[in-house]
Structure 1
Amino acid sequence: KNTEILNEIEANFDRLMMSDGNAAEDLEGIDPLTDMVITELKQHQRVGLQWLTIREKHLVLFHWRAASQVQKQKKANPDPFLDDQYDNAEENLTDMDNDNEKDKYESLPPFYREEEDEDTGDTYYVNILNGDKCDELPSFGMGGILADDMGLGKTLQILALICNNSGFDSNPMCGYGPTLIVTPLSVMSNWVQQIREHIRPDTIRIYEYYGSHRNSDVEFLKQHHVVLTTYNVVLKDYSDETDENREQMRKYCGAGLQYVDWLRVVLDEAHKIRSRKTRIFKACSALVARSRWCISGTPVQNRLDDLYSLFNFLRLHPISDMNFWSKFIISPLKHNQMEGLDRLRTIMRQVHF
Structure 2
Amino acid sequence: MAAASSSGGDGEPYLLGYIVTKIVGMRYYSARVAGRESVGLVREPLNIHDGNAIAVKNARHEQVGHLPAPVAKALAPLLDSHLLTAAHGIVPRSDSKINRNAYSLPCQVHLFAGPAAAAVVEAALEEAGLDLIHADHPEFALSQSAAVMERTKKAGRDVDKLFSLVGGKEGKARILPMEAPGDVVLSELFDHQKGALGWLLHREESEDLPPFWQETEDGRFENVLTNQMTVERPPPLKGGIFADDMGLGKTLTLLSLIGRTKARNVGVKKGGGAKRRKVEDAGEGPRPTLVVCPPSVFSSWVTQLEEHLEPGSLKVYMYHGERTRDKKELLKYDLVLTTYSILGTEFEQEDSPVKQIEWFRVILDEAHVIKNFTARQTKAVIALNAERRWVVTGTPVQNSSFDLYPLMAFLRFQPFSIKSYWQSLIQRPLENRNKTGLSRLQILLGAISLRRIKETDIGTKSMIELPPKTVLECYIDLSAEEREIYDQMELQGKNKMQEFGDRDSILRNYSTVLYFILRLRQLCDDVSLCPLDVKSWLPSNSLEDVSKNPELLKKLASLVDDGDDFDCPICLSPPTKTVITSCTHIYCHTCIMKILKSSSSRCPICRHSLSKEDLFLAPEVNHSDEDGSGNPGSDKPLSSKVQALLKLLKTSQNEDPLSKSVVFSQFKQMLILLEAPLKNAGFNILRLDGSMSMKKRLQVIKQFAHGGPDTPTVLLASLKAAGAGVNLTAASTVYLFDPWWNPGVEEQAMDRVHRIGQKKEVKVVRLIVKGSIEERILSLQEKKKRLISSAFGKKKGGKDDKEMRVEELRMMLGLDMGRPVAGCRPSEACHVQ
- Which category describes the TM-score, using the shorter chain as reference length? 0.7 to 0.9
Alpha carbons 2:160, 2:436 under 8 Å: kept = no
Partner of 2:359: 262
Decide whether the 8 Å contact of 1:170 with 1:223 is kept in 2: no
Q: How much does 1:7 deviate? A: 3.1
Question: Displacement, 1:116?
Answer: 5.6
- Alignment pair present for 1:50 and 2:203: no
The partner residue of 2:341 within 232, 241, 247 is 232
- Aligned residue for 1:155? 251
- Equivalent residue for 2:232, pick from 136, 141, 149: 136
Shift of 1:297: 1.7
Per-residue Cα deviation, 1:56-99 (whole angstroms, up to 9, x for no partner): 12xxxxxxxxxxxxxxxxxxxxxxxxxxxxxxxxxxxxxxxxxx
Q: 2:400: which partner in 1?
A: 303
- 1:24-47 alpha-carbon deviations (Å, 9 max, x no partner): xx6552212553211111011111
Match of 1:329 among 426, 449, 472: 426
> Among residues 290, 294, 319, which one is paired with 1:209 in the alignment?
319
What root-mean-square deviation, in Å, do the aligned CA atoms of Structure 1 and Structure 2 show? Answer: 2.7
Counterparts of 1:82-97 in structure 2, within 5 Å, are none
| Aligned residue in 2 for 1:38 | 186
**One-letter identity of the residue aligned with 1:10:** D
CA distance 1:6–1:339, shift in 2 (3 Å): farther
Tell me: CA distance 1:40–1:331, structure 2 relative to 1, closer, same or farther (3 Å).
same
What does residue range 158-177 of structure 1 map to in structure 2 within 5 Å?
158-167=254-263, 173-174=283-284, 177=287
Structure 2 residue 427 is matched with structure 1 residue 277: no
Q: Secondary structure at the match of 2:240?
A: strand
1:179 deviates by 0.4
The 3 A distance-change label for structure 1 pair 31 and 219 is same
> Percent identity, aligned pairs only?
38
**Contact 1:126 1:133 survives alignment (8 Å):** yes
Partner of 1:92: none
For residues 256-289 of structure 1, the C-alpha deviation after alignment (integer angstroms, 9 at most, x for no partner) is 2111110111111111110101111101111111
Confirm whether residue 341 of structure 1 aligns to residue 489 of structure 2: no
Code of the aligned partner of 1:15: L
Please, what TM-score do these two structures have when normalized by structure 2?
0.32
Residues 106 and 351 of structure 1, relative CA distance in 2, 3 Å threshold: closer
Amino acid at match of 1:283: A
Higher relative contact order (CA 8 A, sep 6+): 1
Counterpart contact for 2:291–2:362, Cα < 8 Å: yes
Query: Which is helix-richer, 1 or 2?
Result: 1
How far apart, CA to CA, are the structure 2 residues paired with 1:6 and 1:306? 32
* In structure 1, distance between residues paired with 2:158 and 2:209: 14
Letter in 2 for 1:115: T
Q: Classify the secondary structure of the residue corresponding to 1:150.
A: coil
3-state secondary structure, aligned to 1:300: coil
Query: Number of paired residues?
Result: 286
Are the structure 2 counterparts of residues 326 and 174 from structure 1 closer, same or farther at C-alpha, using a change threshold of 3 Å?
A: farther
- 1:170·1:177 contact (CA, 8 Å) conserved in 2? no
Amino acid across the alignment from 1:231: Y
Instruction: Give the letter aligned to residue 39 of structure 1.
Output: S
Structure 2 vs 1, CA of residues 227 and 170 (structure 1 numbering), >3 Å: closer, same or farther? farther
1:56/1:35 Cα in 2 relative to 1: closer, same or farther (>3 Å)? same
206, 214, 233: which is aligned to 1:113?
A: 214
CA distance in 2, matches of 1:351, 1:6: 28
Q: Distance in 2 between matches of 1:106 and 1:148?
A: 24
Alignment partner of 1:265: what SS?
A: strand
Q: Kindly state the Cα deviation for residue 192 of structure 1 after the two structures are TM-superposed.
A: 1.2
Alignment of 1:183-198 (within 5 A): 183-198=293-308
- Kindly tell me: are residues 268 and 109 of structure 1, through their superposed partners in 2, closer, same or farther at Cα, counting changes over 3 Å? closer
Residue 97 of structure 1 is matched in structure 2 by none
Partner in structure 1 of residue 160 of structure 2: 10
Deviation of residue 303 (structure 1)? Answer: 0.8
Q: Deviations over 1:168-192 (max 9, x none)?
A: 9987945663000111112212101
CA-to-aligned-CA distance 1:99-150 (integer Å, 9 cap, x gap): xxxxxx4333222232365xxxxx3323334444434322453212222222
Question: Residue 17 of structure 1 aligns to which amino acid in structure 2?
Answer: G
Task: Tell me: CA distance 1:22–1:185, structure 2 relative to 1, closer, same or farther (3 Å).
Answer: farther
**Contact 2:170/2:447, CA 8 A, preserved across alignment:** no
Q: C-alpha separation between the residues in 1 aligned to 2:330 and 2:369? A: 24
The runs of 5 or more residues in structure 1 that have no matched partner are 58-104, 118-122, 241-248
Between 332-341 and 154-163, report the one with greater CA deviation.
Answer: 332-341
Q: Which amino acid aligns with 1:291?
A: R
Picking from 158, 162, 178, the partner of 2:288 is 178
Q: How does 1:73-84 map to 2 (within 5 A)?
A: none
Asked if 1 retains the 8 angstrom alpha-carbon contact of 2:344 and 2:378, the reply is no
Q: What is the TM-score when the length of structure 1 is the normalising length?
A: 0.73
Shift of 1:350: 1.9
User: What stretches of structure 2 of length at least 5 have no aligned partner?
Assistant: 1-141, 143-148, 265-278, 451-833
Change (3 A) 1:175 1:12: farther
Contact 1:5-1:129 within 8 A present in 2 as well: no
* Matched-pair contact (CA < 8 Å) for 2:415–2:421: yes
1:125 maps to 221
Q: CA deviation at 1:22?
A: 7.2
**Equivalent residue for 1:222, pick from 310, 328, 331:** 331
* Kept after mapping to 2: 8 A contact 1:177/1:260: no
Letter of the structure 2 residue corresponding to residue 112 of structure 1: W
Q: After the TM superposition, which segments of 4 or more aligned residues of structure 1 sit over 4 Å from their partners?
A: 167-176
One-letter code of the match for 1:125?
A: F
Q: Aligned to 1:56, what secondary structure does the other structure show?
A: helix
